[in-house]
Chain A
C-alpha cells in the first residue's frame, strides 16, 4: 500500500480527503473481517497502518477546517468560544495586562511630582 504522507494530504481538497477517508474505512472493515476469519499475517499487520492513515486524514481535515474558521473570524468583534485562546481556566480569569497597569489619577500625580530619586555618593 502507498504510504500516506501528510504533506501530500494537505494539498488535497476536502472532497478528495473525504473520499479517501471512505476508502480507508471500508478497507479497515475488510481487514477486521479477515482478522475474525483467521486472515493472513500481512493482512493483520495492515490493520495498524490503515488505522493510523485514517487518523492522519481526519487530522488534516480538522486542522484545515479550524485554520479557515480562524481566518474567517479574524477581525470580527464576536468569535465562537472554541476559537478563543484556551490556556487554563485560571489564566482566562486573570486581569489583563492593561487592567493591571491602570492607575488612579491621584497615583499618577504622586508619581509625577514625587518620583523615586536616584542619588550617587561620592566615594
Chain B
C-alpha cells in the first residue's frame, strides 16, 4: 500500500500548499522601471485589420466617367482640320474631368488607334480641348474619314 498512500499524501500536501498560497500571497516585489530616455513614447498596441460585419455601401457605384463620356465630340474647325492634315493629330472636346491618361485610353478603346501624346487645354467657355497626336504608322486623315469628320 506504499504507492497509493504516498501518492495520496503528495496530492494532499500539494493541495494544502496551493490553498495556503491563495490565502497568504507572497509579497509582490515591485521592480522599478528603468527609463533610459527623457522622452515618453506611446507604447505600441495591437492593431487589428478591418473585418466589417456588413459593407457600408451595398454595391460599389458604377463608373460614371467611362470611355463614351470622356470623348464628347471631335472638333471640325478649320484649325482642327489643319492639325489633322499637317500634324497627324485629332482634336476632341473632352469631359473637363478627364485627364490625359483617360483620354489616351478612351481614344484607344473607341477608335482602335495608338496615340503618341495628348495635349490638353481648357477653353474660355469651360470645355476641355484635347490634341491627340497619333503614332506615325496611323494616318489621321483616314481615321477622321472613318469617324465621320471630313
Most chain A CB inside 10 Å of its own CB: which residue of B58, B74, B150: B58
Contact (Cβ within 8 A) A80 B74: no
Residues of A within 8 A of B110 (CB): 26, 29
Contact (Cβ within 8 A) B57 A36: no
Query: In chain A, what residue has the closest Cβ to B58?
Result: A80
Q: How many A-B residue pairs have CB under 8 A?
A: 49
Known A-B contacts A33-B74, A35-B73, A36-B74; the reply to A81 vs B57 at CB < 8 A is yes
Q: When chains A and B are docked, how far (Å) is the Cα of A62 from the Cα of B58? A: 12
Min CB–CB distance A111 → chain B (angstroms)? 41
Interface of A, secondary structure class, is helix
Residues 64-118 of B at the A interface (beta carbon under 8 Å): 66, 68, 71-76, 110
The segment from B17-25, B48-56, B124-132 that touches chain A is B48-56
Q: Bin chain A's interface residue count.
A: 20 to 34
Contact (Cβ within 8 A) B58 A37: no
Residues of A within 8 A of B147 (CB): 33
Known A-B contacts A26-B68, A65-B59; the reply to A33 vs B54 at CB < 8 A is no
B4 at the interface (CB under 8 A from A): no
Tell me which of A25, A28, A30, A83 contacts B58 (CB under 8 A): A83
Q: Bin chain B's interface residue count.
A: 20 to 34
Contact (Cβ within 8 A) A33 B73: yes
**Cβ contacts A to B, 28 pairs, < 8 Å:** A25-B66, A29-B68, A29-B71, A30-B148, A32-B72, A32-B73, A33-B73, A33-B74, A33-B147, A33-B148, A34-B148, A35-B73, A36-B74, A36-B75, A36-B76, A37-B149, A65-B59, A69-B59, A73-B54, A73-B58, A76-B54, A78-B53, A78-B54, A79-B54, A80-B54, A80-B55, A81-B56, A83-B58
